Structure 1
Amino acid sequence: MSSIVSETTIVGDDTTIGHFAVIGKNVRIGSGCQIGHHVVIHDDTILGDNCVIDDHAVVGKRPLRSRPMAIQPGDDLDPLVLAEGVVIGTGAIVFRGSQIGEDSLVADLASVREQSVIGTRSIVGRGVAVENRVLIGDRVKIEAGAFVCAFTEIADDCFVAPEVALTNDNYLGRTEERKKNYKGTTIERGGRVGANATVLPGKTIHSDGVAAAGATVTKDIPAGEIRSGIQATRLKDVPPEQRLP
């Protein structure tokens, strides 16, 4: 029941490694870390002291490539860096090219894609999907099942409740024009989003603004205001160039 650890990996004092872990080339693991069973740590990944990588987690993974992908991953991704005290939950996946700050948590079954940055003492809850090129500040809480789209910026001390959807594509996957106009959500310092709310592309929740549970945010939310509500009414016809032949 042994693990596979590259000869070029550096492992700090008092670090434990579980059964069947695979640790790639040029990995650096600090002191006092706990590496669980069946963990995969990909090449060049850097772990600070006292990190926990729980069973079946995968860290430092390179993104897959597929021709239909609208946003292709970069060729030269920096190594994944996990600062001191970071905890990665069971079955979580954290991609190469990202950084996670001190004492932050990526909970069970969550994922953080490439070129994203998470600050200190932040929580990415169970099953959360953080897409690529996302910026998340310090002391942020993103609760279970939320979707954080690419190009989102979430400032310090924000709260995102369970099953929130932050979106970035006004074209809903149609036409090449969409690729030039992706724009994620911006949540300024202290902004909050209630459970099951949806924020449409490019909208800003200003400082201490709140999107209430179940809201559909179609306009910016001013600082210190609470906005709620949803209704679907006829808006306009689907543009001809967006219709299927």
Structure 2
Amino acid sequence: MTIKDKLAAQQIYFILGGLFITSLVVSNLIFQKFFYWYPFHIELFGTKLFEISVGILPYPITFLITDLISEIYGKKRANQIVVMGIFASLFSLSIVFVSNAVPATNWSPVGDSMFSTVFGNTAVAVFASMLAYLFAQFIDIHIYHFWKRITKGKYLWIRNNFSTFSSQFIDTLTILLLLCSFEIIEWNRFTGLLVSGFIFKAFIAACDTPFLYLGVYLFRKRFNLRLNDEIKLL
């Protein structure tokens, strides 16, 4: 690759990293709103299935991006993005903490009570999310490269889906255990939210496979990459 190509590849890597961090931070900030995403009312152990947090909406994007980076830039760069996400989460947590601590004026459109209601549990959410995120993302990257090695770079759909299904279940289980332990969510909703969250994430993971194929195809065409080639950044 020429220097120009490597600079272009590095710029795309930074863009993907920005999308990854934005999706991760936003999912932590909006998690307290829940919605019903399926037209049929199904109950499991007294809990309605498919009632899930809106924080789950941007989260699958992070796994698509890490899979794409793993495929094109390699395991080291994918892990680097994960670590960057941790620092971004901690930084956003500190901003929210300070913002919640300072008193609102009497004319502020958003008062202390409303702000605390929306963002007061953000610290716990970020803590829970970071632990779940650490487990899930590193497992996702590890399993992805395990299947890439086993299949010798073929069958992209296998490593994309197998890695994401496993990591998404671990992510959903971990974050719900922590949120229920901190009494942000009632324990009687645990099973329904676990099943709903995993099914939703697995569904999105299956749907994003064509987008991963498209992304890999565009990268290989743009940078003349052969099967199993990875871009080494400057």
State the TM bucket, normalised to the shorter chain: under 0.3
Asked which structure has the greater RCO (Cα within 8 Å, sep 6+), the reply is 2
TM-score of the superposed pair, with normalisation by structure 2:
0.20
TM-score (norm 1): 0.19
Q: Which has the higher strand share?
A: 1
